[in-house]
Amino acid sequence: MKGIDILLTLTLPTLILLHLLLAPYTKVEESFNIQATHDILNYGLPFSNISSTLNTYDHTTFPGVVPRTFFGALSLATVSKPILLLTRGRYAQVIKWVDWSFWRGCGEVVSTFTGYAIPCGFLCIEDVAEYVCFWSYDLGVCGIPSGERGSRPRVGIFLFVFAGVVFRSEIALLLFTQLVYLLVLSRISLKMVVPAGIQSAILALVVSVPIDSYFWQAPLWPELTGFYYNAIQGKSSEWGTSPVIHYFTSLLPRLLLNPLILLLLHPLALILPATKHTSRDLIIPSLLFVAIYSLQPHKESRFIIYVVPPLTAAASLSASYIWTRRSKSWLYTFGSLTLVGSVALSFVASSAMLTISSLNYPGGDALAQLHTHILKDLSRSPRTQRTQARNISIHMDVLSCMTGITRFQQYPSLPLRFPQAQNVTLNYDKTENSPELGEAAFWMKFDYALMEEPGLAIGKWELLDTVICRDWREFYKANNVSVGDEGDAPSGEDVRRIEEGGVGQAGGNKEGKGFLDLKTKLMFEEMNNFGTYNLLRDAGRLVTGGWWIGPKMEGKIRILKRIGDERDWREEQEEEKEKEKVRLRESEKQGEERVATGTD
């Protein structure tokens, strides 16, 4: 293998790890699997006192709208456990997401199934650009069309059915489009389809039903429940609806990212004699799946993510055709340069999206910053207090829990204990939609709180920090002053001033310091995610003369620390009540005087 091939092959896992390290948190859509993986690793699989142990699992307290399968989480926990033992639990959440065996063979899989030597750089960078991975059951996409290759169609059908029964029921629609396409072309027969499908379905049910019935403590087939809830009852529409063409006009181009894929490479792959047969096998069933799924009102990119591998592979066929002929004519040379330029621009866009994505998880960032504040407080306390047993309680509101917080962040987790304070126990609370939230006694239990609306926390609290998050878009003209120019996240007072006055100065310095200041920031400042974004934005504004359009940053979550004890707080409340009584008496007295004056 040539050196460039080795370099490009290593680029794929390297970029994936980079994305995971810079944006390690997850939102609510992925919370079930990551929380379930944590609970299996941390609490194990009980064979006695099953109910009491499973009550400590996250899904018992927060079951979600529909039950999900534990098969994936159990598999991830099994694979991750040996690695976590070696790393002593460090980076547990990142390790959970990494599936090295697949990435090592992804290029060979596509090459084997399509029969073409695809430019690894194009394939790798395009797939990493969308932050998506080839899910294992997507192997069926490439396995089924090879009707002439013996057992591979059966393997593809087997994987499709298994994935649909266990993981995602919409896979059945993708299987349907694949089979209809091949049946029309007489590439397969029902004698091949039916036995493989029945065998896979039986195996999937034998695997899924016992495992999920054990964890949910009731007879259950999760995907059937989810299909009935979303498709039959139509409840998915409650989460929002989109136009019929939304997948084709917005989500699919965003997933593929490189505009040449849909505008040039796919049409070219469909008409070139050398690539048209293979590309049709990849493109037509995939687009048919997207077209049929567009009839579902609720639309998300994760529902059609399965078509990214075959569509990217099809684009790589025509890209390979152009690249291997780059020295034959000026037209191929121009086409090759265009491909390289599009990949470079896609890489830049992907890097920008990575930076923005890292700012989308204020909950995860807030809890990490809170742990740092707690450590600082403990380090300032006398040594005698550090050795005393102590409980610290933390309340996390709904937005915090939905934007990155997982049990992997909580102490103790796995073999970890809270560093530098072995006798400190942290208790985490996620109470939501409860009458208790309006009672003062409830808030007196907590030492810290992560709040979107700090005014809802009853009592006396100190604002420690404000976590910045991407809100929408902002536009700067040449004479605007940048927000957070020094690269540090503004304090709570800064955020309030920005929110009240629009675009203003959080750091107090104006634009125009030049590249030397940017270099100084990069070399000497401890850059957080917000600071990194500021650095990139200010560098761009130097190039454009101050003009900029990009994501708008706002304070989303406040880190609060309760101050004063219960007696001080109650005395303060009594004083407020007395003052209110005095104001009422004065108001009544003034009213009586006005009445008396009017009577006279």
Query: Which phi and psi (to 5°) does residue 559 adopt?
Result: -95, 115
> What is the torsional sign of CA 317, 323, 328, 333?
positive
Sorted by sequence, the CB contacts under 8 Å of residue 429 that are 6+ apart come out as 393, 394, 395, 396, 445, 446
Q: Is the CB of residue 134 less than 8 Å from the CB of residue 309?
A: yes
- Per-domain boundaries in the chain: 3-357, 478-546
- Give the DSSP H or E segment for 227: helix 222-227
Tokens of 283: 């493109």
Q: Distance of CA 32 to CAs 35, 361, 408, 526, Å?
A: 5, 16, 13, 33
Amino acid at residue number 373: H
Greatest pairwise CA separation for the chain in angstroms: 108
Rounded to a whole number, what is the distance in angstroms from the first to the last CA of the chain?
107
Q: Distance of CA 534 to CAs 114, 371, 541, 552, Å?
A: 44, 24, 10, 11
Sheet holding 461-476, edge to edge: 424-429, 390-396, 448-451, 548-562, 461-476
**Pairing state between β 390-396 and 461-476:** unpaired
Sorted by sequence, the CB contacts under 8 Å of residue 233 that are 6+ apart come out as none
Tokens of 482: 């940048």
Query: Over its length of 600 residues, how does the chain's per-residue pLDDT go in tens digits?
Result: 577 778 877 887 788 788 888 888 887 777 888 899 889 988 888 888 888 888 889 888 888 888 999 998 898 888 887 777 776 555 555 555 554 334 434 444 443 333 333 333 333 333 333 333 344 334 445 556 555 555 677 888 888 899 899 988 888 899 999 999 989 988 888 888 899 899 999 999 999 999 999 999 999 999 999 888 888 888 888 888 899 999 999 999 999 989 999 999 999 999 999 999 999 999 999 999 999 999 999 999 889 988 998 999 999 999 999 999 998 999 999 999 999 999 999 988 888 888 788 888 899 999 989 988 888 887 776 665 555 667 889 999 999 999 889 888 887 654 444 555 567 788 999 988 888 888 888 999 999 999 998 888 988 898 898 888 877 666 666 655 444 333 343 444 554 554 444 433 333 343 334 444 444 444 433 345 556 667 777 777 777 777 777 777 778 899 999 986 555 555 666 677 788 888 888 888 777 777 677 654
